[in-house]
Amino acid sequence: MILSAFVAIAPEHKLRVIAPDVGGGFGSKIFVYAEETTTIWAAKRVGRPIKWTADRSEAFLTDAHGRDHATHAEMAFDADGHILGFRVSTKANMGAYLSTFASAVPTYLYATLLNGQYKMPCIYAEVMAGFTNTTPVDAYRGAGRPEATYVVERMMERAARDMNMDPTELRMKNFISPDAYPYETPVIMTYDSGDYPLTMNTAKKMIDYDGFQARKAESASRGKLRGIGSAAYIEACGIAPSAAVGSLGAGVGLWESAEVRFNPTGSVTVFTGSHSHGQGHETTFAQLIADKLGVPFDQVEVVHGDTTKVPFGMGTYGSRSLAVGGSAIVKAADKIVEKAKKIAAHLMEASADDIEHSHGVFSIAGTDKQMTIGEIAFAAYVPHNYPEDLEPGLAENAFYDPLNFTFPAGTHIAEVEIDPDTGIVDIVDWAAADDFGNIINPMIVEGQVHGGVAQGIGQALLEGVVYDDTSGQLLTGSYMDYCMPRADDLPSFKVEATNTPCPSNPLGVKGCGEAGAIAAPAALMNAITDALGKEIDMPATPEKVWQAAQSA
Amino acid sequence: MYSFEYERPKGISEAVGAVGEDDKFLAGGQSFLPTLKLRLAQVDKLVDLGSIAELKGITVSGNEVSIGAMTTHATVASSADVKSSIPALAHLAAHIGDAQVRNRGTIGGSIANNDPAADYPSALVALGATVHTNNRTIAAEDFFVDLFETALEEGELITKVTFPIAEKAGYAKFPNPASRFALVGVFVAKTASGVRVAVTGAGPSVFRQGDMEAALDSNFSPDAVKGIKTDASGLNSDIHASAEYRAHLISVMASRAVAAAS
């Protein structure tokens, strides 16, 4: 749509995009890249198909980078430790060219989350976005929310240290209370639901927070520095009500759409606009249909990633697929149920009002007469005995535009042991207590948390784009120099979920894709700060940590 | 990659005869093939050494371990002979790169390339190894000349490396977090002629740390080297580590290599 409407590269009905089984996105594949536009333009120009492939070296140079803020922050407290105000001034690098979401990241997705999980009477945020000579900077897993969480949560731990309080107690004192929802913050957002004391207490228990001092002493006896650090994060996901983003200047609506099509023999094909690139939509969306319509799980096929097959979609990002795309599927399934009731009523000679539905079984209230959705689907496609005023077939589509953002939140606690001789940070324990609202597939959710935390750890410890001071040349142009987290950099994660259902979508879900990446950098840097007794900036490379440990 | 001729001889003399002025021998290709792919190098012909049986294998005789130039890191790492005679050498080989690199990369290819962050040069220098080529033998210390530079002449082929078995030896490596090459690697060997300490990763090429050797000669213990500093001037400094940090890590790794020595 962007290519047609804004770049005028090809009429929309002549443009077909096929993108099956893409390996991961994490933000960088959202954007319209000059290479894509150029390839289409060139193909039209020469009248031949053109293939364009970027290799890894090229991707390092041209794929949008993420997270480049310099921030000055001040937080005011009363004598009891209650927050009085928060003032933040941020300079955000846009790179040399403005990418698709670029300026939205440090503004709408950042400043609006500076309230964290707390009662903050007033917040002042000033963001200056600037052009530099770097690769464009745009959304990356979490987009703006990791940066907001980082500022808020580093400030909370710093404040606790300055006031000689336990950082978790300071947070507890300032949390929005679980009965205060909907809760309007001073920075636009209306939080939907949550229980922040519960997630924090859950995480503390998981990591045996109270036993930390004994573990620290044991580490010290081996010459090691042990630290513990938390991050109580919040994010705005399920992006987003179209009216809300429109009022903020977005050029598009942010709904999703779906078609649920029963085949004559009772299997189901779900067409979704939410592309799956490793998130397991095929599984989660099939579960939605299996649960709601009683169709065996393996009789549900989920189709995505081909613009001639699927209805419109606005994209998989901002942890929105289930909350927005899944809700569209549910809405379409609701329409199926309504139509099926009419068919069942006709076939069983009853009034549609008397038909009850549960998991694909339609029965006449108060009787033992019933039909299954499979029988009804067959009748809909072989309508020999069928209501006169009803269209044949059993396929429905729906568009869903959310009422509000969703607000996943939780607490992650990291525990580290630092070798002062080398500066190596060993992550010895990790507890993640997350509230994602209702959960459809726990294993997929846990996997998302693992992956998110791994990326957050990468950001905090290992990853960093470096340009040459004088030539501007990218120095971290390959994996020889750009350090990705690997399995042996990571601990085993302890992951638990609490649940306050989301009130603004029919599934009660909040989204889980970015949480780990949002929570992890702040939690890990707080733990490192606790161990060293002083602050350093990300990435906490061995040399930086070693230098800090020397003067600690 | 630019186009090139390819030859795969079966014998050493055939290989030496096949390589001309703008040609290269190909060993495991773990450094050279990526260089070709990135068009940072160009050759007329690649002479692949992979089919030359006499360049492969490990033998132990008397007080010497002999490793053929085309022996892979994985073979050295898993060799019962190496593990029992020079366990530190097997340990070093087991920690080069990743499994794929270890299955393809060879000792001859590694030392001929003389990457400043490669692991093997430290073992050769500390153990006092000898590099055998198709027409002479070269002492390890004379072999490694400078950054990516060795004593090899044009067209000269490494056939094997022989290592005297040390009384005790240990290797400790601080890997570059991204590439897992040695940011600093220290190989310590207690030999009949005294203790030798060789450092890789820290400088333009492998070097010996004389102060540490002297200290360990009188007291072979981890504490003996912990406080001995290395002058940072002349050491490598890059986005991963400053020269000062590398100098510090030499002391830490030397101490750990001594502790690990067996």
Which tokens is A272 given?
A: 């979704």
Backbone angles phi, psi at A21, to 5 degrees: 40, 55
Kindly report whether the peptide bond that precedes residue A125 is cis, defined as omega within 30 degrees of 0. no
Strands A494-498 and A424-435 come out as parallel
Pick from A421, A489, A490, A551 the residue to mutate for testing the B interface (most B CBs within 10 Å): A421
Q: Which domains does chain B have, with CATH numbers?
A: 1-54 (3.30.43.10), 168-260 (3.30.390.50)
Q: What's the CA gap between B100 and A164, in Å, rounded?
A: 51
Q: Residue A75 pairs with which residues in a beta bridge? A: A86
Please determine whether the domains at A69-172+196-237+406-550 and A254-400 fall in the same fold group of CATH: yes
Q: Which residue of B has its CA nearest to A475?
A: B239
Q: Do A541 and B177 touch (CB under 8 A)?
A: yes
Residue with tokens 């190989």: B187
CA distance A330 to A313: 15
Look up residue A34 and give its two tokens: 């000059």
Contact list in A for residue B245 (CB cut-off 8 A) is 542-543, 546-547
Domain boundaries, given as residue ranges, for chain A: 2-45, 69-172+196-237+406-550, 254-400
- Find chain A residues with C-beta within 8 A of B239's C-beta: 466, 475-476, 481
Residue A137, min C-alpha distance to chain B (Å): 21
Indicate which of B249, B250, B253, B255 best probes the interface with A, i.e. most A CBs within 10 Å of its own CB. B249
| pLDDT for A337 | 97
Bridge pairing between strands B64-68 and B58-61:
antiparallel
**What would the two tokens of residue A544 be?**
């930086």
Give me the helices (H) in A29-166, please.
34-46, 56-62, 145-162
DSSP B132: E
CB crowding B56-84: b at 16 or more within 10 Å, else e? bebebeeeebbbbbbbbbbbbbebeebbe
Residue of A nearest to B253 (CA): A422
Q: Report the alpha-carbon angle A463-A464-A468, nearest 5.
A: 145
Consecutive sets of 10 residues in chain A, 552 residues long: mean pLDDT of each? 69 87 86 89 93 91 95 97 98 95 93 97 97 96 96 98 97 98 95 97 98 98 98 93 85 91 96 92 96 95 93 87 95 97 96 96 95 97 95 96 95 98 98 98 97 98 95 94 94 97 96 96 98 96 96 70
Q: Which of B202, A161, B75, A295 has its CA nearest to residue B83?
A: B75
Of B38, B178, B245, the CB nearest to A481: B178
pLDDT at A12: 84
B242 neighbourhood in chain A, CB within 8 Å? 543
Q: Which two tokens stand for residue B152?
A: 């090899």
Specify the long-range contacts of residues A369-375, CB closer than 8 Å, at least 24 apart: A371/A344, A371/A347, A372/A294, A373/A262, A373/A266, A373/A293, A373/A294, A373/A295, A373/A340, A374/A265, A374/A266, A374/A295
Containing H/E element for A552? none
Average pLDDT score, chain B: 97
Question: Is there a cis peptide before residue A296, judged by omega within 30 degrees of 0?
Answer: no
Whether omega before A539 lies within 30 degrees of 0, making that bond cis, reads: yes
DSSP A438: S
Segments in B67-184 forming alpha helices (H): 73-78, 80-85, 87-94, 99-104, 107-113, 120-127, 140-143
Count Cβ atoms within 10 A of the Cβ of residue B10 and give its class: 0-12 exposed, 13-18 middle, 19 or more buried.
Answer: exposed
Chain centre to alpha carbon of residue B241:
21
Query: Distance between alpha carbon A266 and the CA centroid of its chain, in Å?
Result: 34
Go through chain A and tell me how many residues it has. Answer: 552
Q: Which residues of A touch B179 (CB under 8 A)?
A: 479-481
For residue B222, list chain A residues with Cβ-Cβ distance below 8 A.
none
Q: What is the C-alpha to C-alpha distance for residues B78 and B90, in angstroms, rounded to an integer?
A: 7
Tens digit of pLDDT for each residue in B12-32? 999 999 999 999 999 999 999
Q: How far is B177 from chain A (nearest CA, A)?
A: 6
B151 CB-near residues (< 8 Å, 6+ apart): B138, B142, B143, B144, B145
What class has domain A254-400?
alpha beta
Q: Is A484 part of the contact surface with chain B (CB cutoff 8 Å)?
A: yes
pLDDT score recorded for residue A5: 65
Task: Tell me whether residues B240 and A541 touch, CB distance under 8 A.
Answer: yes
Give how far B187 is from chain A: nearest CA, Å: 18
State the nearest Cα–Cα gap between B165 and chain A, in angstroms.
31
Identity of the residue in B178, B242, B252 whose CB atom sits nearest the CB atom of A422? B252
Token pair 């510090």 in the structure block, residue: B248
Instruction: Verify whether the Cβ–Cβ distance B178 to A543 is below 8 Å.
Output: no
Give A481's contacts in chain B (Cβ within 8 Å): 178-179, 239-240
8 Å CB contact of A484 and B177: no
Q: Do A475 and B174 touch (CB under 8 A)?
A: no
Among the partner residues A466, A475, A543, nearest to B241 by beta-carbon distance? A543
Look at the domain A69-172+196-237+406-550 and name its fold.
Aldehyde Oxidoreductase; domain 4 (3.30.365)
> Tokens standing for A366?
């108060």
The C-alpha atoms of residue A402 and residue A465 are separated, in whole angstroms, by 36
Nearest to B174 among A422, A476, A481 (CB): A422
* SS3 at position A1: coil
Q: In this structure, what token pair is assigned to residue A386?
A: 């069928």
Q: Does A8 touch chain B (CB under 8 A)?
A: no
Bridge partners, residue B5, by sequence: B45
Say yes or no for a CB contact (<8 Å) between B249 and A422.
yes
Please give the structure tokens belonging to residue A284: 């989660």
Considering only CB atoms, which chain B residues are within 8 Å of A543?
A: 240-242, 245
Q: Which of A117, A236, A230, A228 is nearest to A173 (CA)?
A: A117
Q: What is the pLDDT of residue A1?
A: 63
Residues of chain B contacting A418 with CB distance shorter than 8 Å: none
Inter-chain residue contact B178 with A480, CB threshold 8 Å: yes
- Listing DSSP states for A272-288 in one string gives ESS--SSS-HHHHHHHH
Reference A231, options A43, A473, A491, A457; nearest CA is A457
Between CA A446 and CA A448 the distance in angstroms is 5
Shortest CA gap B242–chain A (Å):
8
Give the CA count within 13 Å in the CB-facing half-sphere of B69. 26
Q: How would you label B113-125 residue by residue, b for 16+ Cβ within 10 Å and e otherwise?
A: bbbbbbbbbbbbb
Q: Using N-to-C axis directions, what is the helix angle for A145-162 and A167-174, rounded to 10°?
A: 110
Q: Where are the alpha helices (DSSP H) in A298-362?
A: 327-347
Inter-chain contact B239–A483, Cβ cutoff 8 Å?
A: no
- What is the secondary structure of A192-235 as a DSSP string? ----HHHHHHHHHHHTTGGGHHHHHHHHHHTT-EEEEEEEEEE-
Amino acid letter, residue A267: S
Write the CB contacts of A515 (distance below 8 Å, at least 6 apart in sequence). A233, A235, A319, A408, A410, A432, A434, A436, A448, A449, A452
Q: H or E stretch including A471?
A: none
Look at strands B23-26 and B194-200 and give their pairing. unpaired
Q: Would an 8 Å CB–CB cutoff place A427 in contact with chain B?
A: no
Residue B57: band (very low, low, confident or very high) from pLDDT cuts 50, 70, 90:
very high
Q: Is A545 on the interface with B (CB under 8 A)?
A: no
**Residue whose entry in the numeric block shows the structure tokens 């001639």:** A308
The C-alpha angle with vertex A75 and arms to A527 and A458, in degrees rounded to 5, equals 30
Instruction: For B238-254, write each residue's pLDDT tens digit.
Output: 999 999 999 999 999 99
Q: Do B179 and A542 touch (CB under 8 A)?
A: no
Nearest chain B alpha carbon to A467: B239
CB pairs under 8 A between A and B: 36
